[in-house]
Amino acid sequence: MKEQDVSELCRQVNQVVKQAVEYAQSPQFQDTIQQGVQKTVNGVKKTVGNFTAGMRQQPPYQPPNFYPGGNYRQRVKPHVRPTVRPPIYPNYNTPPVYPQTGRPQVVAKSAKTGPSKGTGLFVLGGICTFVFFVILATMLGDFLISPISMLEDLSGNVIALVLFAGGAGVSFVAGAKSRGRFQRGSRYWGILQGRTICPVAELASGTNRSKEFVIKDMQKMADKHLLPPSYLDSKKENLIFGYDAYQKYLKEEQQREAARQKAEAENRKRSPEVNEMLREGFEYIRQIREANEAIPGVEVSEKLDRLEDVVGKIFLHVERHPGKLPEIRKLMQYYLPTTLKLVNAYREFEEQSLQGENIDQTKREICDTLDTINVAFANLLDGLFEDDAMDVSADISVLETMFAQEGLTGHDFRRSGFSEQEKTGDQSEDNQPLQ
């Protein structure tokens, strides 16, 4: 390279650096930065306003069902109007849920700041990094022209140059991280859509991050005031927004814990045979329900709904009257296992892509048999009340007999006390001497 070419290159580099510095100090550049920051801040305010309005319009917080083993879920099937059924046995065999005690774990506090700080650091770091490389290129050109004089000039400014380069790099990295955190926060807002509770797994899936990263990220955003008040549940599986919603969640969780303890106390009062019968019985109901949800047919679904209801009432009655356990042993040993076998067979036939004549005929036979099973189980449930009905009939007969003896049921209605007094008075008059 000729000396004239090197001099021309250095002159051009110096000119570029001078123009970059002058542009960075110009009012036009500052106005551009200020407009960009103000636009981003306005976007954040609008997002926070939409979320706040959405939270005011949301219904009260409804916690997820922590007891799928005990409560019957509502099922919606094609062409079937959904109905709400009361739980048959809500407290049996429920998993333990312990309420969170002590100070609640705050994940985020408020949304007061936007990405202005991150944007400023990012832009400042980028400009400083660009200027640093321009200066470095200029110094390299001077070094090629006059290495000795270049080294002498560099020895006095090396510390300032290193500090300038370090500050530029730190500002750029910090700004990039801040902008990335704000962008993730915006994605969190989009996933929440005004809800007061959201599973952490859903937030992790929506941002392509792990659940552990999302929890830590939420905690960092709490320190940065990028989110409104939000809390993690005791299992760290759901994120709850709003102090009132979190307090309601804690109250309901305490109620569930009290119900669980009450159920455990009742289980201890029952005999092991009854507890084992209830466990097996509700396991049959769970498997029938699982098959029912997989079967699309409306007719069969309605019959299985009836089957679940009747069987659940049978176990509920035996749970309240343990002495009737021997009356349902055949139900447990043969009737229910055979019924479940038929239901699973129908489910398997329904899943076949090709429905031949044999499959259609077998499905029709199973469907008709379900009617017979429902009638038989209903009669079994009615038979469990036979002793109670006989006791009630006996009480009614005794009561009617006593009413008749006292003359309280006919036309000659008189109080028994008054009749006895009148009778006693007549006897006293007869015993008085004649005057």
pLDDT tens-digit readout, 324-372:
888 888 888 899 999 999 999 999 998 887 888 888 999 999 999 999 9
Of 405 and 378, the structure prediction assigns the larger pLDDT to 378
In the predicted model, is pLDDT for residue 236 greater than 70? yes
Do 229 and 330 have their domain in common?
A: no
Give me the residues paired with residue 199 across strands.
238
Confirm whether 425 is domain-assigned.
no
Residue type, 235: K
What is the residue whose two structure tokens read 């029709």?
A: 364
| Cβ burial, residue 49 (10 Å; 0-12/13-18/19+) | exposed
Torsion 143-148-151-152 (CA) sign: negative
Of the ranges 110-114, 216-220, 262-266, which one carries the lowest mean pLDDT score? 110-114
Q: Choose the final residue of a domain: 192, 224, 241.
A: 241
Q: Are 206 and 287 found together in one domain?
A: no
382 in a domain, yes or no? yes
Backbone φ and ψ of 327, nearest 5°: -75, -15
In this structure, is residue 428 part of a structural domain? no
pLDDT of residue 277: 85
Same domain, residue pair 108 and 185: yes
Closest CA to 189 of 41, 51, 44: 51
Residue 303 sits in the same domain as residue 165: no
Q: What single string gives the DSSP state of each residue in 213-273? A: HHHHHHHHHHHHTBS-SEEE-TTS-EEEESHHHHHHHHHHHHHHHHHHHHHHHHHHHS-HH
Q: Are residues 10 and 145 in the same domain?
A: yes
Has residue 78 been placed in a domain? yes
Residues 179 and 93 in one domain: yes
Say which range, 87-91, 178-182, 280-284, has the weakest mean pLDDT. Answer: 87-91
Q: Is residue 166 part of a domain?
A: yes
Do 191 and 66 fall within a single domain? yes
Q: State the helix-helix crossing angle for 298-320 and 357-384, rounded to 10 degrees.
A: 30
Alpha-carbon distance 90 to 84, whole Å? 14
Q: Is the model's pLDDT at 167 over the cut of 60?
A: yes
Domain count, the chain: 2
Instruction: Examine the domain organization and report whether 214 and 316 are in the same domain.
Output: no
Q: Is residue 147 very low, low, confident or very high in pLDDT (cuts 50, 70, 90)?
A: low
pLDDT at 173 over 70: no
User: Which pLDDT value is given to residue 289?
Assistant: 92
Residue 127 pLDDT exceeds 80: no
How far apart, in whole angstroms, are the C-alpha atoms of residue 435 and residue 433? Answer: 6
**Per-residue confidence (pLDDT) for residue 111, from 0 to 100:** 40
Stronger pLDDT, 90 or 154, i.e. the higher one? 154
CB atoms within 10 A of CB 111: 21
Type of residue numbered 209: R
Higher pLDDT, 218 or 21: 218
| Residue 138 lies inside a defined structural domain of this protein | yes
Q: How far apart are CA 310 and CA 303, in angstroms?
A: 11
User: Is the predicted pLDDT of residue 113 greater than 50, yes or no?
Assistant: no
Report, as an integer, the average pLDDT of 225-237. 75
Q: Degrees (nearest 5) of the Cα angle 216, 177, 48?
A: 70
Q: Which helix (H) or strand (E) holds 107?
A: strand 106-108
Over residues 86-103, the mean pLDDT reads: 41
Convert 184-197 into a string of H (helix), E (strand) and C (coil): HHHHHHHHHCCCCE
In terms of domains, do 221 and 97 share one? Answer: yes
My answer on whether 275 and 236 are in the same domain is no
Query: Stretch 57-62: mean pLDDT, rounded?
Result: 48
d(CA 290, CA 98): 28
More confident: 66 or 235: 235
Q: Which domain holds residue 129?
A: 3-241
Mean local confidence (pLDDT), 99-127? 46
Q: With cut-offs at 50, 70 and 90, classify the pLDDT of residue 129.
A: low
Residue type (1 letter), 167: G
74/189 same-domain check:
yes
pLDDT at residue 7 in the model: 60
Q: Does residue 113 belong to any structural domain of this protein?
A: yes
Polymer length in residues for the chain: 435
111-115, 361-365, 427-431: the lowest-pLDDT one: 111-115
Domain shared by 34 and 117, yes or no:
yes
Of the residues 221, 241, 261, the one at which a domain ends: 241
92 has a pLDDT exceeding 70 = no
The residue among 234, 241, 197, 232 whose CA lies nearest residue 214 is 232
Q: What is the mean pLDDT of the chain?
A: 69
Residue 370 lies in a domain: yes
